[in-house]
Amino acid sequence: MKPLQVGLLGIGTVGSGTWNVLSRNQEEITRRAGRGIEIAVVADKDEARARQVVGDKARISADAFAVVRDPSIDIVVELIGGYSVAKDLVLAAIESGKHVVTANKALLATHGTEIFAAAQRKGVMVGFEAAVAGGIPIIKALREGLTANRIEWIAGIINGTSNFILSEMRAKGLAFDAVLKQAQALGFAEADPTFDIEGVDAAHKLTILSAIAFGIPMQFDKCYREGISALTREDIQYAEELGYRIKLLGITRRAEVDGKAGIELRVHPTLIPASRLIANVEGVMNAVLVKGDAVGATLYYGAGAGAEPTASAVVADLVDITRMHTADPENRVPHLAFQPDRMAATPILAMEDVTTSYYLRMRVQDRPGVLADITRILADGTISIDAMVQKEPAEGEELVDIILLTHETRERNINAAMAKIEALPVVSGRITRIRLEQLGRQ
């Protein structure tokens, strides 16, 4: 049987990794897929670089749209990235009746609903395992392995750059700016690290996970995002003293507010008990914790980026498509796990309606009655205190740090209480607020 013909768009880090993995493991992959998979043409504006990677084993083109329109191509692998051109290429491939594999989380988080609807109409498949957590097969786990479960929540470390920075800040007591420069020097952070350190990349991935877990459309614009650039080594140290680690988490959860169902969709720094497995994921590694009603908590850990870990997921999608190439489209695994006509309209909750616990750090004047004023404001807002630490003032200092851990409360209550506390004349500056999650037992 003739191998399925693949058009590879982009031969950068992941593209070259895909070429290498597919070439190196060709025999094993064919045995598993039941049919050969062959990259017939590579599209890249840098034709010399492409030729250096593939030699004379594939055609080279500078025109990605020509590859998409090529009638001999069965599957298009989009590894260009970005939004506009990638979207046009993917939709053109689908319109031409070709299956698509992509690692483009930004594209799917913003335009996935449109792309999957187009694929459904044309009876083709879109594989996107590589779009979330690199080589960790979390998409397949959610769509297939956990299909018997009602997913209750997901919490994930899904950005390696931010996790590396937080790990180094904790281990070495360094400031954020110093570790960011180190991450850039090591190639873990881009020259412009905004997407990583401000939670945008994690929000793209969480949007995809939430859609699969709960059968809702992609809603990236409704995902709450808060990055790590404002975190201090003092807060990381205080969290450690209290038995917690700070991680940038993507969290999505079923919730009920005022008797109505909703979905939490949020990315932000989070205190996690240091005893939790996910709290001990260090460096650039990723981990996703999924809670199903039947299976309980399951943890998926591995490399979230890199040439060959991500290529592993790309090639796995190619194998899946090869296996299902001739199957009735109605009997394939749905793109977002649920049948297209059974998607839910459950709304995404506003952040002020989320209920969680909080770490609050404030600098106050070291005088009698200050703590009583603060605790009275919290009590008036129906916020109860779980733990409290008051630090000793440095020699010659009149200000002291007070750290409070609260029990669960709605975010709107914390916002109101913080505004009142910050207005007290004995409080200096703004309160540092970091959300806290127990994440059950693992």
| Active-site amino acid positions | 205
Instruction: Read off the tokens for 279.
Output: 């709290």
36 HSE (CA, 13 A, CB side): 10
**DSSP string covering 2-50:** PPEEEEEE--SHHHHHHHHHHHHTHHHHHHHHSS-EEEEEEE-S-HHHH
Structure tokens given for 301: 């850990």
3-state secondary structure of 256: strand
- The two tokens of residue 382 are 């129906």
DSSP codes joined into one string, 171-224: HH---HHHHHHHHHHHTSS-SS-HHHHTTHHHHHHHHHHHHHHHT----GGG-E
- If DSSP codes are grouped into helix, strand and coil, which group holds residue 418? helix
Calpha distance 91→213 (Å, rounded) = 25
Q: Comparing C-alpha atoms, which of 299, 306, 312 is closest to residue 127?
A: 312
Q: What's the rounded Cα separation, in Å, for the pair 244 and 439?
A: 12
Q: Concatenate the DSSP letters of all residues of 101-167 into one string.
A: EE--HHHHHHHHHHHHHHHHHHT--EE-GGGSSTTS-HHHIIIIITTTS-EEEEEEE--HHHHHHHH
Cβ neighbors of 325 (< 8 A, separation 6 or more) are 4, 35, 74, 99
Q: Largest Cα–Cα distance in the chain?
A: 84
CA–CA dist 343, 336 (Å, integer): 9
Q: What is the DSSP letter of 89?
A: H
* C-beta of residue 275 within 8 angstroms of C-beta of residue 91: no
Rounded CA separation 102/136 (Å): 15
Q: What string of H, E and C letters represents the secondary structure of 265-330?
A: EEEEEEEEECCCHHHHCCCCEEEEEEEECCCEEEEEEEECCCHHHHHHHHHHHHHHHHHHCCCCHH
List, in order, residues 6 or more apart from 123 with CB less than 8 Å away. Answer: 97, 329
What is the C-alpha separation between 381 and 413, in angstroms, rounded? 6
Q: Which residue in the block uniquely carries the two structure tokens 């733990």?
A: 387
